[in-house]
Amino acid sequence: MAKHSKKYVEAAKLVEPERRYEIGEACELLPKLSLTKFDGTVEMHLRLGVDPRHADQLVRGTVVLPHGTGKTTRVIVFAQGEKAQEALRAGADDVGGDDLVKKIDDGWFEFDVAIATPDMMGTVGRLGKKLGPRGLMPNPKSGTVTFDIERAVSEIKSGRVEFKVDRAGIVHVSVGRASFTPEQLSANVAAIVDAIQRAKPSGAKGTYMRTLTLAPTMGPGVRVDIPSALAAASA
């Protein structure tokens, strides 16, 4: 069993282990639970009642957080001609075609999200073995293969995040920073909960959302009352 630091133990005393906190109360606690000297990320872990092994129970989507993620997202775009110019106007950090493919093929990965126009996917496909394992391959399901380049770049730069259920049936997603106000964190969590609720697959049976935990990068987590999160999402 892992041995926690004295700071962790002290922070953990602020949380009642068996309690499910109202979303507002949980978000007020989070800054006190963060143990890092830097402004740590706050993550949401939502266990769903789905079996991702079945195609009709996959949960995936994107959502624009009302208060952003608190970090600068580096976006590259595979595009040519007018679409390349559109990407630059929207604020993309790097834009190109074969030249950008070669740059990445040579080992450059200084970016967080890659977007491509559909006509460029034949070229980008050559990078599948390098971008795929890193979760950076453009994908129509995540909105990163599109001709609407301006919208895609703008949304990602302003705080769009992708969520996807993992093999254990859990969605892990960043909801902001420890320095965010409780209201900002609550609004971001509510937006993601709403998006995941809307993405409920037809094959899901029984209780869909089972447990919801919020936790800083380093520090104990706090369990959230799911009905209160759903109420905030529908408000």
Do 226 and 168 have their domain in common? yes
Q: How far is CA 108 from CA 99, 143, 177, 235, in A?
A: 12, 23, 27, 44
The residue range of the domain holding 170 is 6-69+160-234
In a domain, 201, yes or no: yes
CB 196 within 8 A of CB 47: no
Do 51 and 100 have their domain in common? no
| CATH number of the domain enclosing 152 | 3.40.50.790
CA distance 155 to 162: 11
Return the pLDDT at 75. 97
Strands (E), the chain: 41-48, 60-64, 75-78, 94-96, 113-116, 160-164, 170-177, 209-216, 222-224
Return the pLDDT at 39. 87
Please tell me what DSSP assigns to residue 106. T
Return the pLDDT at 1. 47
Return the pLDDT at 7. 87
In a domain, 1, yes or no: no
pTM reported for the whole predicted model = 0.83
Domain total of the chain: 2
Please tell me what DSSP assigns to residue 203. T
Q: Which residues of the chain have pLDDT under 70?
A: 1-2
CB 100 within 8 A of CB 60: no
Nearest to 193 by CA among 79, 107, 95, 66: 66
As a three-state string, the secondary structure of 120-176 is HHHHHHHHHHHHCCCCCCCCHHHCCECCCHHHHHHHHHCCEEEEEECCCCEEEEEEE
CA distance 208 to 18: 21
